Structures are given as C-alpha cells and as structure tokens.
Amino acid sequence: MTRLTEFRQASRAWLQANCPESQRLPIVKREQIWGGRRRIFPSADAQVWFERMRDKGWTAPEWPTAYGGGGLSAAEAGILTQEMTALGCRPPLYEIGVWMFGPALLEYGTETQRQEHLPPIVRGEIRWCQGYSEPSAGSDLVSLKTRAEDKGDHFLVNGTKIWTTQADKADWIFCLVRTDPYAPKQAGISFLLIDMATAGVSTTPIPLISGESEFCQTFFDDVRVPKGNLVGELHGGWNVAKALLRHERKLMSIMGTMVEKEEGNIIDLARQYVGLDAEEKLRNPLLRHQLAQHLMRAQCDSLTTERIQQQYKHGQPDNNLPLIMKYLSTTEQQSKDELMLAIMGNRGLSWDDATYTENERKLVRNWAYNKAHTIAGGTSEIQLNIIAKRALGLPS
C-alpha cells in the first residue's frame, strides 16, 4: 500500500469518526463557521467539528505544523478534500485568512509576522478581510489612492476602501496602500496589515441586490500603523498583491463547493416544476435542451479541474489551463441560476414571501447573490484580458 493510500484510509476513518452527522448535511449559509474575536458558533456540533479539525491543523491543511497547520503535501490535501467531499463534510472554517492571506504571508512574510498571524487564523481566533478595491480603483487596482505616510516609527494611513467583504465582522485587514505617490503606479504600492480595532478605522455596510450586505466601505482617518506591519518590501506591495490574487482566483473557481445549494438536483426540480409528457420528457423542449446543455458543460468544468490535476501528476502541466477556470465556473454558475429561475417560473420570484417554499426562496437568493462571482476577484472581462495576453500571446 502506498503512503497516499494509507493516508486516504486513515483520513477517511478519522473523518467518519469525528465529523458529527449534522456537519455532513448540505451547507446552510447561517450555519457556516466563521472565526474571529467575536465568533459565535452556529451550533454545538459546529463547534465540536471546528475544534477537532483545528486540533489536527486541518483548518489549514497545507500550512506547516509550526504555524498550527496540518503540514500536508498538496497531494495529501487533495485527498483530504476528496474524502471530505465524499462524506459531505462541511468546511470547518470559512476564512479569508486561510484561503488568501495566509498563503501570501507564507511566501512574503517575515518569520515574526508568520508566527504572529498564522496560528490565530488556523485557530479561528482572528478574522481577516481584504482591503484592495477603492471607489475609483476597481479593475484598475494599481490606481489606488489610500495613502500611508512614513512617520518614522509608524505609518499614518488615510483613505477609503470599498467592497470590503465582511469588514464589519473582521478583526484585521490586509491593505494595499500608496507609500510613494511620485513613483510609477505599480512601484509606489505597499502591503500593510491593520488591526480593525485601531482608532480611526470605521466601516459602513452596503446593501446588495441579494438583500444582504456582505460588503462595507471602510474608512481610514489618521490611522497609526506600526512599521512592523509592512509585508514585503516598502513600495514592493504589488508583488504580494498579485500572489494573493492568484489564491483568490483559485478560490473563486471552487466557490461552488462552499456555498449553500438548493435541495434536490436540478433535474428533479425541472421534473417537478415543468412536468413530464407521456414519453417522460420535460414538457418544455427548449428548457429540456438548455438543461442538457448546462449539465454537459458543468460536468466538463469539473472534469477540467481534474484534467489539470492529472497533467501535474503526469508531469505534463499546461500552465495556461488554470487561467480559464474562474471565467468558466462563474459564468456556468450564473447560467445555471438563470435556468433555475426559468424552470421555477413564477415560483422563482421571491426570497421573503412566506407563500414560497424555503427552497424556492433560497434559489432566488442564490441567483441574485451569484451575480457577484463574475465581478469579484477580477471581473470576467479582466479574466479574458489575462487569457488573451498570457495564454494566447496577443499583443497589447
């Protein structure tokens, strides 16, 4: 038996023994486990599940054990994910620090910074948010204006960030700030860590079309930030920013596995709402074809992820292939959402009216919420720009 097979069997047995039944049910948004100073576990089972995973370091499976992580190789972590998916285990922790910030800090942080910030993330004690976008710097991120002035023993930060997901609940923010306003745009940016509890930091939630308000505008008024909170070189923040964005895009392409899903698969829902004719075909031939097309494409999307992994395993990686995944999976998700609404007809038009079922309301919420996926983490158009330049070598 190979080492990986052993690992698979051991982790399967462990998960079976340690993941509470309730944590293997389909994901429900209000039961997601988030960390932070003000964390509240959605249930006792959720807390048990989180703590058991935390103690194995499997809230951040690939991070070194020295920082509280699981110390798994990429192959082992892949197996762990497969086994968790097979058992239906919910993610033990939803945390931007795990997904994006930590990996970038491992690459660019000093040893002191890693020691300070990584273990609290693994333990779900500190919740992070991302301060990149600004009102006038979205896709054109390098035009950001939030200013950090060098005041000798500290930076003085002034400016505003927008679309900061969960900023009102986060404890710390990693920010791109302008430290040299005279240098060419990219060369004047630094990567700074700011404790949200510092005087002068404030947040205002922004209501969204999904009826929620997950983002905030974040304001910095004369915020004093210690020099030691600079990650990477002074004015060298753009490199850190790009490394982190790669992790963000990877996350966005697997987002579908981490969000709340409708109950029952789409075929059953179509049978239920559209009805079947005497030959057991959906009564609406156009929807029937659209559904077939969607299922075909969705299957190919997940198989493409598998193909990328197989290429790595066989030592024949195609580095351009991962570039298409964010675009493909987010657009496919949205066409599924539109199809879902079409299938439900007038039953797919409310998210709060009590005469609609919980599942109907959930599907409508998801439809509205998922509109964000082709915008967040670099819009679809920006993804196409990247594909055209990097994969296809088209000229500027």
Partner 1 sequence: MNMVLNEEQVLLRDTMKAFLQEHADVSAMRTLRDTKDPIGYSLPLWQQLTELGVGAIVMPEAYGGLGFGFLGLGAVMQEMGRTLTATPLLSSVILGASAIELAGSARQRQALLPAIAAGKLTLTLAVDEASHHAPLATRLALRETPNGLRLNGTKVFVLDGHVADKFVVVARSAGDAGDSHGLTLVLVEATSPGVTISRTTMIDGRNSAELHFENTPVNIDDLVGAQHSAWPIIEKVIDRGTICLAAEMLGGAHELFARTLAYLKEREQFDVKIGSFQALQHRCALLYCQLEQCQTAVQSALGSLDSEASDIALQASIAKALVNDCYQLVSNEAIQLHGGMGITDELDIGLFLKRARVCLQLLGDTSYHLDRYATRLNF
73 touches which of partner 1, ligand FAD, none (CB within 5 to 8 A by kind)?
none
Closest distance of CB 115 from partner 1, Å = 40
- Comparing CB distances to ligand FAD, the nearer of 58 and 367 is 367
170 Cβ contact list (under 8 Å, min separation 6): 36, 96, 127, 128, 129, 164, 196
Closest distance of CB 214 from ligand FAD, Å = 7
Binding of ligand FAD by 381 (CB under 6 A): yes
- Comparing CB distances to partner 1, the nearer of 121 and 282 is 282
Binding of ligand FAD by 238 (CB under 6 A): no
Residues that bind partner 1 (CB under 8 A): 267, 270-271, 276, 280-282, 288-289, 291-293, 295-297, 299-301, 303-304, 306-307, 310-311, 313-314, 316, 321, 324, 327-328, 381, 383-385, 387-389, 391-396
Q: What is the DSSP string of 63-92?
A: S-GGGTS----HHHHHHHHHHHHHHTPPPS
Q: Helix (H, G, I), strand (E, B), or coil: what is residue 357? A: coil
Binding of ligand FAD by 372 (CB under 6 A): yes
300 touches which of ligand FAD, partner 1, none (CB within 5 to 8 A by kind)?
partner 1
| Residue 390 tokens, joined | 């990097």
Alpha helices, DSSP H, located in the chain: 3-18, 44-56, 74-87, 96, 102-108, 111-122, 237-254, 266-274, 285-313, 325-344, 358-369, 380-386
Q: What is the DSSP string of 148-178?
A: EEE-SSEEEEEEEEEEEETTTT-SEEEEEEE
**8-state DSSP, 211:** S
User: What x/- string results for residues 121 through 140 when contact with ligand FAD is judged by CB under 6 A?
Assistant: --------xxxxx----xx-
Binding of ligand FAD by 379 (CB under 6 A): yes
Binding of ligand FAD by 385 (CB under 6 A): yes
The piece of 41-49, 232-240, 271-279, 371-379 that touches ligand FAD (CB under 6 A) is: 371-379
Distance CA 26, CA 259 (A): 9
Distance CA 269, CA 106 (A): 44
49 Cβ contact list (under 8 Å, min separation 6): 18, 19, 20, 23, 33, 89, 90, 92
Tell me how far the alpha carbon of residue 268 is from its chain's centroid. 29
Which residues, listed in sequence order, are joined to residue 191 by a DSSP beta bridge?
176, 231
Closest distance of CB 78 from partner 1, Å = 16
- Comparing CB distances to partner 1, the nearer of 213 and 310 is 310
Binding of ligand FAD by 36 (CB under 6 A): no
As a whole number of angstroms, the longest Cα–Cα distance in the chain is: 80
Closest distance of CB 219 from partner 1, Å = 34
103 touches which of partner 1, ligand FAD, none (CB within 5 to 8 A by kind)?
none
Using alpha carbons, select from 109, 135, 118, 124 the residue that is nearest to residue 63: 118
Cα distances (angstroms) measured from residue 211 to each of 28, 196, 204, 259, 369: 17, 25, 16, 17, 9
Contact 230, 192 (CB under 8 A): yes
314 touches which of partner 1, ligand FAD, none (CB within 5 to 8 A by kind)?
partner 1
- Comparing CB distances to partner 1, the nearer of 1 and 392 is 392
281 touches which of partner 1, ligand FAD, none (CB within 5 to 8 A by kind)?
partner 1
The piece of 26-34, 38-46, 326-334, 381-389 that touches ligand FAD (CB under 6 A) is: 381-389
**8-state DSSP, 57:** T
The piece of 37-45, 81-89, 336-344, 370-378 that touches ligand FAD (CB under 6 A) is: 370-378
Give the interface with ligand FAD as residue ranges (CB under 6 A).
129-133, 138-139, 161, 163-165, 215, 372, 375-376, 378-379, 381-382, 385
